Structure 1
Amino acid sequence: MPDREDKLVGEFPFVPKQERAQQKRNALIESGYALFNSKGYELTTAKEIAAHAGVATGTFYRYFSDKRQLLMSLLEDKLEKFLPPEPSWISRDPEAVLAVLLEAHYERLNEVGLKRVLPELLSKDPELAEVLGAARKKLHARIHFGLKQASENGLTWSDLDLDTVSWAVMVLVENGQELESQCGKRVDYQEMAKVICRMVFPPEAIEDLQNREID
């Protein structure tokens, strides 16, 4: 997604080359990251970011057009990390494989942070929504293709609509962390993987996978 991301970020007012100026710009980025995570996007102002970084508000606008541009510079190489993982359906133990993928996915989300900011921004930023929407469609197509392969191997429920199941898998994974915020309960990766796999595979298919040799 590099071309679209460049458009999202836009052209910076000034890109520093000297070390001292680079340090100021980096301090602003770090301050924006901290404040966006703690306060959200709407409640964070450019003035607060500058104060948090220990510089004047005018210095903020020397490096960034607005707070959106600063946020996009934080997100530009991280957007794909917000997307769910692509499951591996044809393996000896798809449930265990998916549980590992889910755990790695949520760990990446925690490392990136900004989980609070992205949903808040998507409803008000059509360009960002378009980029993430296109990425989700591509991921959906890959998940659907994997399910189709599993179906052609006689592994899925015969009456499944694979398109619907593909979207259901994505929605379930994307909203998994809501369980933590709503219920105060940590995501159980094994349990989530079990739910997804039971939605896709009849019990005899799992047994068949465990007994066949997978390339």
Structure 2
Amino acid sequence: MSDREEQLVGEFPLIPKQERAQIKRDLLLKSGHELFVSRGFEHTTAKEIAAHAGVATGTFYRYFSDKRQLLMSLLEDQIEMLMPPEPKWGVSDPESTLASLLESHDERLKEIGLQRLLPELLAKDTEFAEVLAAGKRKIFTRILSGLKRAYDNDLTWNDLDLNTVTWSVMILAEHAHEKMKHCGNQTDYREVAKVMCRIIFPPEVMKQLRTNGTVTKEE
């Protein structure tokens, strides 16, 4: 493997305007996606991506400076999909709503497949690691903001630190799909949602949410 392939460098490429060029670029993106998922980033080369797409290696470098640039193009529109789902509080039957969000997130991860590359990328590519970390910080801020509103409406435990609660919720949301790997049995997202809701809501609030749909603070 050449030094060019070894280094994870490169900027986002310009998207070609000609239809024929766009078709070739799309073929390379599809080929790269398939090979990255099946072989991993490290064991895939630009030459192999080009061959799998049915084009010359020189054609690959017409559209991408290296395999990292191709991968970043794949991830550019999918970073949000790789992020843990953002829960919704103060809704009717929050357990079912949250379980549905977690299941949908798991299905998206399986469909994309690129999450398998994350440990390899995070270890090598500081720029990508920062992009991912920035995305998580945004979600953390949004979840914390939602929990603060729930707190103001007397929906949450009043003796728990909301930053710690937010962190706990994100950890569960982000890693729920890995339960099989650690525990040996399939993830039951309803059970995960139940744990998350127990962290957030006192029992009487859960009862009111199920009965009335919402709970608001009396003025």
Specify if TM > 0.5.
yes
Give the stretch that moved more between structures: 110-119 or 182-191.
182-191
Give CA-to-partner distance per residue, 1:102-151, whole Å, 9 cap, x none: 11222222222211112321222222222221221111111111111222
- Which piece of structure 1 moves more, 35-44 or 173-182? 173-182
Aligned equivalents of 1:173, 1:22: Cα separation in 2: 37
Q: Which residue of 2 aligns with 1:156?
A: 156
Q: Percent identity at matched positions?
A: 57
- Per-residue CA deviation, residues 69-104 of structure 1 (Å, 9 max, x unaligned), is 000111111111111221111122111111111112
* Aligned mates of 1:96, 1:12 — CA distance in 2: 42
Q: Tell me what 1:72 maps to.
A: 72
Alignment of 1:37-48 (within 5 A): 37-48=37-48
Q: Pick closer, same or farther for the CA change 1:184–1:44 going to 2, 3 Å.
A: farther
Q: In 2, distance between residues paired with 1:189 and 1:9?
A: 39
* Distance in structure 1 (CA, Å) of the matches to 2:100 and 2:15: 43
CA–CA separation in structure 1 for the residues paired with 2:183 and 2:35: 25
Superposed counterparts of 1:101-116, under 5 Å: 101-116=101-116
For residue 182 of structure 1, report the CA deviation from its aligned partner.
4.3
- Figure out how many residues of one structure are paired with residues of the other and give that number: 207
Q: Aligned-pair distance for 1:47?
A: 1.6
Other-structure match for 2:13: 12
Q: TM-score, normalised by structure 2?
A: 0.85
Indicate if the aligned counterparts of 1:12 and 1:63 stay in contact, CA closer than 8 A.
yes
> Quick one: structure 1 residues 12 and 147, their matched pair in 2 at CA, closer, same or farther if it must change by over 3 Å?
closer
CA positional deviation for 1:55: 2.3
The 8 Å contact of residues 12 and 64 in structure 1, kept in 2 or not, is answered as yes
Q: Distance in 2 between matches of 1:14 and 1:150?
A: 44
Instruction: Tell me if structure 1 keeps the 8 A contact 2:95–2:194.
Output: yes
TM-score after normalising by structure 1? 0.87
For structure 2, the 5+ residue unaligned runs are: 1-8
Does the CA-based 8 Å contact 1:9-1:72 persist in structure 2? no
